[in-house]
């Protein structure tokens, strides 16, 4: 018989995306709160009979109350570090909403994953905000268990991906003095063990507990441990006192796939020693703790066996405004175009079509491999240059790759794009996450040609761009000549990759099927 329902806020995040299936496997019914239910439903466990998915946002207390009703315990695995603006104030309000909503919904306990760090004047803004959220939850009407962790070692975590990229790409590191700061990393599997263990041990209620692995080391030592586990030469590390957190964050953003909005607060926190001061968790939730070398080996093994189960890039919601062709409307958290009046709310399109002598399944086999190691089927060097420019501007760049080389699901990242829809043999819809003066989508749509006696497929390459002011207009027209060369070449090379002969096209598509007869694209 299923156990009591458990609420998870942040079920599509790095930790929440691993905790939710773990709870389900232990017989718990789970209420998962997400801003986009379609994204969670696309996960391998998204159709589990004991999972209920709720459209809810921590900024909307009423939605939290509705999602938490019938739950005895609630996990709070949310932070706003990547949301832009004043993330501390955003987190403060979200925590207050969570505390009040839990009380109104009749929840008995909250479990929150926070960050280690002594609450002193030199504490970074990120760690101070995490600590403040824990305090708000603990002082609320519902008892809270606060777990404080330092560096989480697991494939796909922001910290791990930074370490991986730096060690594998830099034989020589000129680093700030923070490389000598002590930390106490913990394997993501042990973090999950503590989260589950606190649920199953009511004695942890109302406590703030430090969690960490068995090793207390410096970041420089952590780099060398990674190199040994990966079987590569350890980098030569030269600490210097001149590099500021800002310069360090800029450099790390260029070298690693982790975006600038995550890098900067993480780098600023490296000056703070993050070591467990409280060992009570070892008796309350006993488990075998992995050392740093074991945790890194486990993470590398997960990557080699087909990609990380979750990744720091997972955060976000696969939604876009209806004007950009998304299947559903939702709060515009992916993009805020904010056109000035003189931009006229213009929506530009560049659409192309071809007919291939192959069935949709054969063509989809090529489409679903787009990006990552496969590339973009045309102009790969131009895509890489665009990615480098995006990195300089603080965007994600071209280095995120893909979660899985063979399959795509909603919410996945593909280089500097996000999957909004992945319908096998029908359509792939991508939203641009690179720095742009506007919002852009790219869609590949397949449909069988019934009038060709079978065995033929129409493939449409549909692009949309909603400019933001004059810079957006200038950007579109500057890129227009490249689009005319790049997009037809993409269709030709997709046909080649699918082993399909081109029957017709590629040609400019004057009328988009979903626009309606007699209505033409804006450009």
pLDDT tens for the chain, residues 1 to 523: 345 799 999 998 889 999 999 999 999 999 999 888 887 887 888 899 999 999 999 989 999 999 999 999 999 998 866 545 577 888 899 999 999 999 999 999 999 999 887 776 777 777 888 889 999 999 999 999 999 999 999 888 888 888 888 888 888 888 888 888 899 999 999 999 999 999 999 999 999 999 999 999 999 999 999 999 988 899 898 888 876 667 777 777 777 777 666 777 777 777 788 899 999 999 999 999 999 999 999 988 876 655 566 665 555 544 444 334 433 333 333 333 333 333 345 688 899 999 999 999 999 999 999 998 899 999 888 888 888 888 888 778 877 888 888 888 888 889 889 898 899 999 999 999 888 888 899 999 999 987 755 689 999 999 998 887 788 888 899 999 989 999 999 999 999 999 999 999 899 988 777 544 333 333 3
User: What is the rounded CA–CA span in Å between residue 435 and residue 408?
Assistant: 23
Whether the CB-CB separation of 229 and 297 falls below 8 Å is answered with: yes
Question: What pLDDT is recorded for position 327?
Answer: 35
Q: pTM above the 0.75 mark?
A: no
CATH of the domain at 155: 3.40.50.720
Residue 522 lies in a domain: no
Residue 356's nearest CA partner among 484, 486, 490 is 490
Instruction: Give the end of a domain, one of 247, 280, 314.
Output: 314
- Residue 293 and residue 435 share a domain: no
Tell me how many degrees the CA angle 39-45-46 measures, rounded to the nearest 5: 35
Residue 42 lies in a domain: yes
- Residue 32 and residue 117 share a domain: yes
User: What is the rounded CA–CA span in Å between residue 23 and residue 1?
Assistant: 14
Residue 517 lies in a domain: no
Residue 334 lies in a domain: yes
- Residue 271 and residue 348 share a domain: no
Structure tokens at 149: 């962790």
β pairing state of 208-211 and 144-149: parallel
Backbone φ and ψ for 6, nearest 5 degrees, come out as -125, 135
Helix (H) or strand (E) holding 75: strand 71-76
Structure tokens at 151: 């560096």
Question: What pLDDT is recorded for position 310?
Answer: 66
User: What is the rounded CA–CA span in Å between residue 217 and residue 276?
Assistant: 12
Residue 389 lies in a domain: yes
Q: Which residue has the tokens 């609420």?
A: 7
Q: Which residues contact 5 (CB under 8 A, 6 or more apart)?
A: 28, 29, 30, 31, 52, 70, 71, 72
Whether the CB-CB separation of 375 and 381 falls below 8 Å is answered with: no
Residue 283 lies in a domain: yes
Q: Which residues contact 4 (CB under 8 A, 6 or more apart)?
A: 28, 29, 71, 72, 73
User: What is the rounded CA–CA span in Å between residue 520 and residue 412?
Assistant: 31
CA distances in angstroms from 241 to 177, 214, 248, 473, listed in the order given: 6, 30, 12, 44
- Residue 244 and residue 100 share a domain: yes
Backbone φ and ψ for 136, nearest 5 degrees, come out as -65, -45
User: What is the rounded CA–CA span in Å between residue 308 and residue 15?
Assistant: 12
User: What is the rounded CA–CA span in Å between residue 392 and residue 464?
Assistant: 24
- Residue 95 and residue 127 share a domain: yes
- Residue 288 and residue 236 share a domain: yes
- Residue 13 and residue 128 share a domain: yes
Question: What pLDDT is recorded for position 19?
Answer: 96
Tell me how many degrees the CA angle 458-464-467 measures, rounded to the nearest 5: 170
In the chain, % helix, strand, coil (3-state, to 5) comes to: 40, 20, 40
What domain count does the chain have? Answer: 2
Instruction: Give the end of a domain, one of 298, 314, 330.
Output: 314
- Residue 489 and residue 357 share a domain: yes
- Residue 410 and residue 275 share a domain: no
For 330-488, list the strands marked E by DSSP: 348-357, 413-414, 417-423, 427-432, 438-448, 457-467
User: What is the rounded CA–CA span in Å between residue 80 and residue 88?
Assistant: 8
CATH of the domain at 503: 3.30.530.20
> Residue ranges of the alpha helices (H) in 69-205?
87-105, 125-138, 158-169, 188-200
Backbone φ and ψ for 446, nearest 5 degrees, come out as -115, 145
Cβ neighbours around 285 below 10 Å, total: 22
Residue 226 lies in a domain: yes
Instruction: Give the end of a domain, one of 259, 281, 314.
Output: 314
Residue 248 lies in a domain: yes
DSSP states of 103-128: HHHT--EEEEEEE----STT--HHHH
Cβ neighbours around 63 below 10 Å, total: 18
Structure tokens at 471: 């810079």
User: What is the rounded CA–CA span in Å between residue 444 and residue 430?
Assistant: 9
Whether the CB-CB separation of 45 and 80 falls below 8 Å is answered with: no
Give the residue numbers spanning the domain of 187. 3-314
- Residue 335 and residue 300 share a domain: no
Structure tokens at 515: 């626009």
Whether the CB-CB separation of 270 and 181 falls below 8 Å is answered with: yes
- Residue 503 and residue 366 share a domain: yes
Cα 257 from chain centroid?
12
- Residue 453 and residue 370 share a domain: yes
Cβ neighbours around 79 below 10 Å, total: 25
């Amino acid at each position: 018989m299923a156990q009591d329902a458990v609420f998870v806020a942040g079920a599509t995040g790095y930790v929440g995306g691993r905790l939710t299936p773990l709870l389900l496997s232990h017989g718990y019914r789970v209420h998962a709160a997400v801003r986009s239910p379609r994204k969670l439903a696309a996960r391998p466990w998204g159709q589990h009979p004991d999972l209920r998915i709720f459209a809810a946002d921590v900024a909307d207390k009423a939605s939290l109350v509705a999602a938490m009703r019938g739950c005895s315990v609630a996990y709070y695995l949310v932070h706003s570090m990547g949301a832009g603006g004043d993330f501390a104030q955003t987190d403060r309000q979200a925590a207050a909403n969570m505390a009040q909503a839990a009380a109104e919904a009749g929840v008995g306990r909250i479990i929150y994953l926070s960050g280690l760090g002594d609450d002193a004047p030199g504490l970074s803004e990120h760690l101070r905000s995490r600590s403040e959220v824990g305090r708000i939850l603990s002082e609320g009407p519902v008892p809270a268990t606060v777990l404080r962790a330092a560096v989480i070692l697991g494939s796909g975590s922001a910290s791990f991906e930074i370490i991986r990229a730096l060690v594998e790409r830099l034989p020589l590191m000129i680093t700030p003095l923070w490389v000598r700061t002590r930390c106490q990393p913990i394997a993501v599997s042990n973090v999950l063990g503590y989260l589950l263990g606190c649920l199953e041990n009511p004695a942890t209620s109302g406590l703030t507990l430090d969690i960490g692995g068995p090793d207390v080391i410096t970041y420089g030592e952590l780099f060398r441990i990674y190199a040994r586990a990966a079987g590569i030469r350890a980098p030569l590390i030269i600490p210097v006192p001149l590099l500021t957190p800002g310069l360090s964050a800029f450099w790390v953003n260029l070298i690693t796939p982790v975006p600038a909005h995550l890098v900067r607060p993480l780098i600023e926190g490296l000056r703070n020693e993050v070591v467990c001061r409280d060992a009570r968790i070892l008796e309350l939730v006993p488990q075998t703790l992995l050392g740093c070398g074991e945790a890194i080996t486990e993470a590398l093994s997960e990557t080699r066996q087909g990609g990380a189960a979750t990744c720091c890039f997972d955060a976000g919601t696969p939604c876009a405004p209806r004007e950009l062709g998304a299947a559903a409307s939702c709060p515009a958290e992916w993009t805020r175009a904010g056109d000035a009046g003189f931009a006229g709310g213009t929506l530009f399109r560049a659409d192309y079509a071809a007919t291939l002598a192959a069935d949709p399944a054969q063509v989809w086999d090529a489409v679903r491999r787009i990006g990552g190691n496969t590339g973009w089927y045309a102009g790969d060097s131009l895509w890489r240059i665009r990615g480098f420019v995006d990195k300089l501007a603080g965007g994600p760049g071209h280095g995120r790759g893909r979660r899985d080389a063979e399959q795509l699901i909603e919410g996945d990242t593909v280089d500097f794009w996000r999957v909004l829809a992945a319908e096998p043999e029908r359509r792939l819809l991508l939203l641009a996450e690179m720095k742009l003066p506007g919002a852009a989508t790219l869609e590949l749509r397949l449909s069988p040609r019934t009038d060709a006696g079978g065995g033929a497929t129409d493939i449409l390459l549909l692009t949309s761009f909603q400019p933001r002011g004059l810079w957006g207009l200038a950007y579109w027209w500057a890129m227009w000549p490249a689009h005319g060369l790049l997009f037809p070449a993409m269709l030709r090379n997709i046909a080649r990759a699918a082993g399909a002969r081109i029957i017709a096209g590629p040609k400019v598509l004057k009328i988009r099927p979903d626009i309606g007869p007699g209505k033409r694209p804006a450009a």
